[in-house]
Each structure stands twice: as structure tokens, then as C-alpha cells.
């Protein structure tokens, strides 16, 4: 039986809502716990373990516990004071809070998420961290609710691999970025030799239902969306032939 894109999206929404409730209710953390992509896997490859002690010290405990990512986009994203940053799939708000601190009071950090429970958790975390320059939006990453040419930097942490329409996501990223705007994305990426069935076999946690692009597919997709200086760099293995990767690029003028 074929699962529709909307059914896949709803399954992702349900899993992340469960994770947010676990943190909110004090019954556990998101990272590799019940409902997360990496449930039952090595927690050192996902979540709060990928942030250094200084970064974790800047965050409310609930924000760190709510981290579900496969990397640390803040460590590689080029952000400057006064810029506008957008985090796709912002979850509990960890990367939005850190971005807001990085761009300072004259800058702005947006977080976009489709899960009400995660948005509520993120807003509470931002309030607890005394962040006043963060705005959390409800929506899907295939249809970003921001105007064209409005963002300097787009980040994302292990979320684009969840989408069933990745070309739409990459096109939307290019649309909202200003000319010369940058991306700093952490995502799960497949080695080029893996076939789609082979990726699907690993998809129960690495693809988190919807699967991952290969390195060459990511590069070609970004170039087709209007990016230059594209790079996809593997950082650590998360399964046979599957890696966490840092994806960077610049929107052509």
C-alpha cells in the first residue's frame, strides 16, 4: 500500500508532537527518545550532544532536551549582527535562540514549524532565555510564510530529509533569501551509490519516514534552485552509507 505525502507529513507531525509533550510534561527528552527519528539509536549522533557546553549553557534545559537534530548548523552558519535568520523546522527553539543571540538585538531570528506543541515549547523556551528578537511561525517548509528576499541566512537541522517535496523546499529557501543570502544546513544525506530501496531500508530512523537525498542530488537541487558555491560535506556516519552533513551555498545575485 502506498502512503500519500499528506499521510507521511501527518506521521511526522504526530511524532514531533509526542516528543514536545514528553519534554513539556517532564517525562523525557526528545533526542532519540519516543517518537523521534533516531529512537533506539546512538544518542551521541543526534540531539543536544552535538552542541558544545558553552552553547548548552546559553539555553533553558527544555530547549536542549528538545533538540532532535543531526548536526549543529549554528557552528557553521555565517551570521552577523543585525541580520535576519530563518530556521526551518525549529522544534523546541534551540537553534533560533542561539541565532537570536548571534545576530543581536538589531537582528531577527524566525523559527518555522508545523507542530503546535513544538511551537508552544519553543516560545516558552525563548521567553525563559529572555530572547526578544525571535518570532515563531506556524507553517510547512514547502510553503514558507515569509516574503521574497527577506532573509539573510537560512538554517535547518535534520528537517529537510523529512519533506516529501524537497525541490519545493529548496525553491522556497531561494525565494525568501536575499540575493547573496546564505544557507547553513545540517541534514542526513546518502552516499551516491545507495539506491532508493537501499535508502528506504535505512529510513526507519535515519530518513525519519520520508528519506534522504544523496550528495549529488542535494548539490544538483540547490544549483537548480539558484545557488552557487554549493558544498555538501559529510561530518559523521549515522548508518551504513548515510551521514550527517553540512550543506552550504549562496543565492546567486
Q: Considering the chain, what percentage of its residues have pLDDT values greater than 90?
A: 49
Domains located in the chain, CATH noted: 5-251 (3.40.50.150)
Cα separation, 12 vs 6, whole angstroms: 10
Of the candidates 28, 33, 26, 27, the one whose C-alpha atom is nearest the C-alpha of residue 47 is 33
Yes or no: say if 230 and 248 are a contact pair by the CB < 8 Å rule: yes
Yes or no: say if 93 and 125 are a contact pair by the CB < 8 Å rule: yes
In 3-state terms, what secondary structure has residue 173? helix
Summarize pLDDT for 92-128 with one digit per residue, the tens.
888 999 999 999 999 999 999 999 988 998 999 899 9
Cα separation, 200 vs 212, whole angstroms: 9
Summarize pLDDT for 146-163 with one digit per residue, the tens.
999 999 999 998 889 888
Cell of 82: 543585525
Q: Look at strands 108-113 and 84-88 and give their pairing.
A: parallel
Summarize pLDDT for 191-232 with one digit per residue, the tens.
999 887 787 777 554 345 447 899 999 999 999 999 999 999
Cα separation, 90 vs 230, whole angstroms: 23
**Given a cut of 50, is residue 35 above it in pLDDT?**
no
**Given a cut of 90, is residue 12 above it in pLDDT?**
no
Higher pLDDT, 77 or 173: 173
Angle subtended by helix axes 5-24 and 116-128, to nearest 10: 40
Cell of 96: 533560533
**Predicted TM-score of the model (pTM):** 0.83
Task: Check residue 45 and give its pLDDT.
Answer: 47
Q: How far is CA 234 from CA 63, 78, 212, 214, 248, in A?
A: 26, 18, 13, 11, 12
CB burial string 130-167: b at 16+ within 10 A, e below: ebebbbbeeebbbebebeeebbbbbbbbbbbbbbbbbe
Rounded to the nearest angstrom, the gap between the alpha carbon of residue 77 and the centroid of all alpha carbons in its chain is 13
Higher pLDDT, 133 or 60: 133
Q: Which residues contact 82 (CB under 8 A, 6 or more apart)?
A: 103, 104, 106, 107
Yes or no: say if 219 and 103 are a contact pair by the CB < 8 Å rule: no
The C-alpha torsion from 53 through 208 and 157 to 153, rounded to 10°, is 180
Amino acid at each position: 500500500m502506498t502512503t500519500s505525502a499528506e499521510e507521511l507529513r501527518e506521521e511526522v507531525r504526530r511524532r514531533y508532537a509526542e516528543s514536545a509533550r514528553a519534554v513539556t510534561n517532564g517525562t523525557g527528552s526528545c533526542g532519540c527518545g519516543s517518537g523521534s527519528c533516531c529512537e533506539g539509536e546512538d544518542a551521541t549522533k543526534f540531539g543536544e550532544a552535538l552542541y558544545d557546553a558553552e552553547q548548552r549553557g546559553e539555553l533553558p534545559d527544555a530547549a536542549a532536551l528538545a533538540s532532535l537534530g543531526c548536526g549543529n548548523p549554528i557552528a557553521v552558519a555565517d551570521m552577523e549582527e543585525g541580520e535576519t535568520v530563518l530556521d526551518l523546522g525549529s522544534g523546541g527553539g534551540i537553534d533560533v535562540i542561539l541565532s537570536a543571540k548571534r545576530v543581536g538585538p538589531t537582528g531577527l531570528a524566525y523559527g518555522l514549524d508545523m507542530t503546535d506543541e513544538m511551537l508552544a515549547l519553543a516560545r516558552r523556551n525563548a521567553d525563559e532565555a529572555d530572547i526578544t528578537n525571535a518570532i515563531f511561525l506556524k507553517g510547512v517548509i514547502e510553503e514558507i510564510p515569509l516574503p521574497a528576499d527577506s532573509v539573510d541566512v537560512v538554517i535547518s537541522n535534520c528537517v529537510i530529509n523529512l519533506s516529501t517535496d524537497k525541490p519545493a523546499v529548496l525553491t522556497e529557501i531561494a525565494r525568501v533569501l536575499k540575493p547573496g543570502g546564505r544557507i547553513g544546513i545540517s541534514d542526513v544525506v546518502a552516499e551516491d551509490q545507495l539506491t532508493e530501496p537501499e535508502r528506504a531500508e535505512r529510513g526507519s530512523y535515519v530518513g525519519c519516514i520520508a528519506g534522504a537525498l544523496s550528495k549529488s542530488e542535494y548539490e544538483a537541487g540547490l544549483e537548480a534552485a539558484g545557488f552557487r558555491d554549493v558544498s555538501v560535506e559529510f561530518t559523521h556516519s549515522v548508518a551504513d552509507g548515510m551521514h550527517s552533513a553540512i550543506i552550504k551555498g549562496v543565492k546567486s545575485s
